[in-house]
Amino acid sequence: MTEKILKGGEYLITETPCESVFTPEDFSDEQRQFAETTEQFIKNEIFPHIEEIDKQNFDLVVEGMRKCGEIGLLMMDAPEEYGGLELDKASSMLVAEKVSNGGAFSVAYMAHTGIGTLPLIYYGTPEQNDRYLEKIISGEWCAAYCLTEPGSGSDALGAQASAVLSEDGTHYILNGTKQFITNGGFAELFTVFAKIDKEHFTAFLVEKDFEGLVVGPEEKKLGIKGSSTTSIILDNCKVPIDNVLGEIGKGHKIAFNVLNVGRFKLGAAVTGAAKVALATGLQYGNERVQFKQKISSFGAIKEKIADMTADIFASESLVYRLAGLLDDKLDTIEKGIDGYYVAYQKGIEEYAAECGISKVFCSEVLARTVDEVVQIHGGYGFISEYPAERYYRDERINRIYEGTNEINRLLIPGMILRKAMKGELPLQAEAMKAFDSLMTPSFEELDESIPFIHEKTLIANLKTLFLILAGVGAQKFMDKIEREQEMLMAAADVAIQIFALESSVLRAEKSFSYFSERKQELLKAAVKICAFNMAEIAGTAARKGAFYIEEGDTLTMMLSGVRRFSKYDATGLLAAKRLLAEAASEEEKYLFE
């Protein structure tokens, strides 16, 4: 554990030493063994049945879940006292990454082990855990989570499902409809949110066989066709009072804390999916011949391959840096103390902004990757006999569930600004320094002996740019800033690119000696590509944000700052892209594993 653990959002105002970050090169032998076990299970038990699963043969999904239970893949987060493994977040995220090759099965797995199981672990009474947890982590029962309704998606607290106490005081009677419930068709236990007396938002543990619970028909979906997605209809559903989960009126705590976990695990899962898609594209690029050459030898294809590889390197670096932050924080909490899981969730909530960053950045890396893989396949990428078509359809949902990417973009700066208002981050003071720097041009020469000095300078400058944007925005809009969604989303894009780029550079710096001389050159190439691409994205977002906030002389000053602080010397970029692409095509897989 590091001596000083950064607070959530503090990366924006602090220089992080590379020694303090967790990287994939830091995995222990035990963690690598978990990854290998998971990878082999998916390859041998799930992958051969992907086509049948996509035809909604849910018996195969349920059977796969039971087999997962038998080898311990459902008990990663469960406490040891109930037969769980209680593993660190890096391990559970690594398993999530490896499950991603299971197509739609991975959706069932992620829903079960995340939002299906965690509410019970975090909030269940000993009696509730005795009754349900062993069945859930063994795979005997599958679990689902019922929050969304036909009229309330992102606005979860706008739910209309109701609960009233029965006349004899033994049951709550639930009424309403829940929509888009993953695992709905075969789950045995549902975490259902409803308002007691139309006021107190509360969670309930509802068994499939409880009177009044009706499972709706399967939705006909664009992608992830092999996952069960149904409505759940509560028609005077009788739920024993002992099945209230957590405190009455505190259901929002369960809903939002569990979603934080879902977001960072999704980041790991989509990173794994991007690696699989990239490998498929590389193999096809070497097989397909046009004009008597492999298409992987053409510059237009090489550029796609290089950008995908660098993107995935950044995604992976970000995910496991976040895993390290979470594990370091959670290690400070003594197990077995009263209120352990309350403190545990606060530990995760500390990095809610970073969880949102993981969800947004990594899901959009996957989106770009599968799009390019389809493009590499040409017309065959549009044909369902080729896996690129399924990757493309299955990807799309990742930018919608676990909170849409738009909602997460709003949450990221919102949570950081709230920390500043509470005095937890000295954001305003740092923003004032940043704004002053606009009027003090710097001509400092860079020390070329420092590894990745150009990229480190860019990161420091982008942090200044974010602070200017956030500071000016907060000063102008004050407590009405939450209404300025366009400005917040622009600020979010700058914050996202900073975290991703810094994660990549810190990983490269820390693990440089871990790699062979050839891989070191590839590492430098990946970092250069990341820096160029992310500087362009952050600069565009900051420029847009400046126009949203100001006008006149202040706008002119801010735009000058955008040009200055998003500047990056990408000399050698083309050579870096060609080097990375040729190596990836030669190995036909993601390079940094």
CA distance 264 to 331: 18
DSSP 205-234: EEETTSTTEEEEEEP--SS-TTS-EEEEEE
Closest residue by Cα to residue 278 from 387, 178, 196: 387
Q: Which residues contact 552 (CB under 8 A, 6 or more apart)?
A: none
Query: Which uninterrupted H or E stretch holds 492?
Result: helix 485-511
Q: What is the DSSP letter of 386?
A: S
Return the structure tokens found at 37.
């076990």
Query: φ and ψ at 372, to 5 degrees?
Result: -70, -35
Cβ pair 487, 545 in contact under 8 A = yes
Q: What is the DSSP letter of 167?
A: T
CA distance 538 to 544: 10
| 25 CB-contact burial (10 Å; exposed 0-12 / middle 13-18 / buried 19+) | middle
Cβ pair 578, 306 in contact under 8 A = yes
Beta bridge partners of 205: 191
Query: Which uninterrupted H or E stretch holds 175?
Result: strand 171-182
Q: What is the DSSP letter of 168?
A: T
> What is the SS3 assignment for 195?
strand
Q: How far apart are the first and last CA of the chain?
A: 24
> What is the SS3 assignment for 55?
coil
Catalytic residue among 316, 364, 402, 502: 402
Return the structure tokens found at 186.
């075969």
Closest residue by Cα to residue 372 from 306, 286, 319, 318: 306
| 581 CB-contact burial (10 Å; exposed 0-12 / middle 13-18 / buried 19+) | buried
* Residue where the block lists tokens 């090489």: 302
Cβ pair 38, 79 in contact under 8 A = no
The full length of the chain comes to: 593
Return the structure tokens found at 210.
């409880």
Query: φ and ψ at 17, to 5 degrees?
Result: -75, 145
Residue type, 207: E
Return the structure tokens found at 326.
């979470």
Torsion angle, alpha carbons of 414, 418, 421, 425, to 10: -100
Residue 402 a catalytic site member: yes
CA distance 204 to 249: 11
Return the structure tokens found at 556.
């002119």
Q: Which residues does the annotation mark as catalytic? A: 402
